Amino acid sequence: MKGRIEINRERCKECRLCIAACKQGCILPSTEYNTMGYRPVSFDEGKGCTGCALCAVSCPEVAVEVYREK
């Protein structure tokens, strides 16, 4: 199964719990800032996301949406 995620950059508060939760290493810290002054995480599509949703479950701000494909 293949997956991808979308990160709501304005909701992300840079806690990086999703980075720790991602077993594939698909989520990376960002150097850009959002309007709240946080550096939201970014998704690396080339890493092989499986759509496991551990990142979304770990996010306290509900900033991660997971999509799965067959």
Residue with the two structure tokens 């970014």: 42
Q: pLDDT tens across 28-62, in order? A: 999 999 999 999 999 998 889 999 999 999 999 99
CA distance 35 to 54: 26
The CATH fold assigned to 2-69 is Alpha-Beta Plaits (3.30.70)
| Among the listed residues 36, 39, 37, the one whose alpha carbon sits nearest the alpha carbon of residue 7 | 39
Residue 13 has pLDDT above 80, yes or no: yes
| pLDDT score, position 69 | 87
DSSP, res 32: S
For the chain, the domains span 2-69
